[in-house]
Amino acid sequence: MASSPPSVEFNARVTSMQPSATLAMKSRATEMQRQGHPVVTLSAGEPDFDTPAPIAEAGMEAIRSGFTHYTENTGTLELREAICDKFERDNGLSYTPDQIVCSNGAKQSLALAIHALCDAGDEVLIPAPYWVSYPEMARFAGAEPVVAPTGVEEQYRLTPEALDDALTDDTRAFILCTPSNPTGAMYSPEELEALAAVLRDYEDVFVISDEIYEHVRFDAEHRAFASIPGMKERTVTINGFSKAYAMTGWRLGYLAAPAPVADATAKIQSQFTSAPSSISQKAGVAALEMDQEPVDDMVSAFRRRRDVVVERLGAIEGVTCPTPDGAFYVYPEVSPFFGTDAPDGRTIEDSDDLCFYLLEEHHVALVPGAAFGGPNGVRLSYASSMEELTTGLDRIEEGLNALR
Ligand SMILES: Cc1ncc(COP(=O)(O)O)c(C=O)c1O
């Protein structure tokens, strides 16, 4: 007997969740490419390099040797010890393996941290422009994302005064991202200390410090937020392998936290996903222990591209483009183009219109700033070959110069 399907009513938090805007733009660009349009995609969130050979070899060796079973929920002791060594070496931070939880990417680590710490009625303070998933994760935990805007004038860095203004008695977590996706901005050690000085007056606030771009930086110094005196006990550091080691597809990230917080995140992980892939974990150990020259080479390539991109964008009238210190994005301010008309008759009201115009008429894909809570800008990723970048920049220049 045929029965009718159950009604498709989803969990209310799923219904109210926004799909990832960066992925949405990517699929629109892919659709156009499939239709035969020669789209240059400057919207990617991943390095355009292969995973370095020693890492890939460690993964293959894991498979060959049968290291293909479940591991401990929080990751192998070998990997967690290697991560502790990394914290000691790179950040002067001393963690024990029970304070490390390895997951299927830093994205999952963030979701675990937010869900372990935040509850209904809590506020999660997020400086904008922000990485798209932070507010959605906060909402999914039942908490309220509170956005603290920053602008091009302060190079997209939250000032201590703005932090103080935005913190309330309900703030449970403050999410920091340095180097930043989407702006590439980095906080100097002194700026981080000034933020920490404000936080000392708010004892119940945890800091979730997303440092996944730690190694993708140019001249600026990276200071782990947890290494600032008094901050380690209230900081969950998020990091991973995707960006520095071009390992996005391996899905491996981790968090370091005070033991009770680490335990809470591990409990969630044990019921939802269990440990990340055993193969990726072996590869992760190799990444941390290998000669870091492939990382340096990749970062040098990013630096050359950044310089070209900043120079070319800065030369376009109406564009203000700060020089980012890290990651592989620039976030030019493009609001002078809002209210202009394009040759095809459309009016550009906002950054969404601008990006769709550039994609549909000039075949170059950027990500509109509204997705990042920074509506006056757009994100350009320079994780593309110099040739593609040059073509993309020619098209952006042509497209913007055609607006009246
Ligand atoms: C700021 C930031 N945090 C976290 C992630 C998640 O990285 P993954 O889950 O690939 O480790 C990304 C990836 O784009 C990111 O840009």
What the block records as the tokens of 158 is: 């939250």
What is the spatial distance between Cα 316 and Cα 341, in angstroms, rounded to a whole number? 17
What is the spatial distance between Cα 128 and Cα 147, in angstroms, rounded to a whole number? 6
Nearest CA to ligand 1 atom 14: 45
pLDDT for residue 6 is more than 80:
no
Q: Are 155 and 331 in contact (CB under 8 A)?
A: no
In 3-state terms the chain splits into helix, strand, coil percentages (rounded to 5) of 45, 15, 40
Nearest CA to ligand 1 atom 13: 45
What the block records as the tokens of 23 is: 């992925």
pLDDT band of residue 2 (cuts 50, 70, 90) is: low
State in Å: Cα 362 to ligand 1 middle. Answer: 29
Give the torsion sign (CA, 253, 258, 259, 265).
Answer: negative
Neighbours of 53 (CB within 10 A): 11
What the block records as the tokens of 123 is: 């506020």
State in Å: Cα 103 to ligand 1 middle. Answer: 12
Q: Give the whole-number percent of the chain exceeding pLDDT 70.
A: 99
What is the spatial distance between Cα 332 and Cα 314, in angstroms, rounded to a whole number? 8
State in Å: Cα 242 to ligand 1 middle. Answer: 7
State in Å: Cα 32 to ligand 1 middle. Answer: 26
State in Å: Cα 240 to ligand 1 middle. Answer: 8
Predicted pLDDT of residue 18: 80
Q: Tell me: the pLDDT tens digits for 184-214?
A: 999 999 999 999 999 999 999 999 999 999 9
CA 131 to ligand 1: nearest atom: 1
Q: Tell me: the pLDDT tens digits for 289-341?
A: 999 999 999 999 999 999 999 999 999 999 999 999 999 999 999 999 999 99
Q: Tell me: the pLDDT tens digits for 111-141?
A: 999 999 999 999 999 999 999 999 999 999 9
Q: Give the whole-number percent of the chain exceeding pLDDT 90.
A: 91
Predicted pLDDT of residue 21: 67
Average pLDDT of the chain is: 95
The helix (run of H) or strand (run of E) holding residue 310 is helix 293-314
Q: Tell me: the pLDDT tens digits for 340-397?
A: 999 999 999 999 999 999 999 999 999 999 989 999 999 999 999 999 999 999 999 9
Q: Are 140 and 120 in contact (CB under 8 A)?
A: no
The helix (run of H) or strand (run of E) holding residue 360 is helix 351-362
Predicted pLDDT of residue 29: 86
Pocket of ligand 1 (CB under 6 A): 45, 105-107, 131, 177, 181, 210, 212, 240, 242, 248, 253
| Residue corresponding to tokens 């990230």 | 253
Predicted pLDDT of residue 1: 58
Predicted pLDDT of residue 7: 78
Q: Tell me: the pLDDT tens digits for 53-67?
A: 999 999 999 999 999
> Which alpha helices (DSSP H) does 174-233 contain, by range?
189-199
Predicted pLDDT of residue 44: 83
Side-chain half-sphere CA neighbours of 232 within 13 A = 14
pLDDT band of residue 3 (cuts 50, 70, 90) is: confident
Which amino acid is residue 304, in one-letter code?
Answer: R
Q: Are 58 and 269 in contact (CB under 8 A)?
A: no
Domains of the chain, each with CATH number or no CATH: 12-50+294-401 (3.90.1150.10), 66-289 (3.40.640.10)
What is the spatial distance between Cα 165 and Cα 193, in angstroms, rounded to a whole number? 17
pLDDT band of residue 70 (cuts 50, 70, 90) is: very high
Which amino acid is residue 357, in one-letter code?
Answer: Y
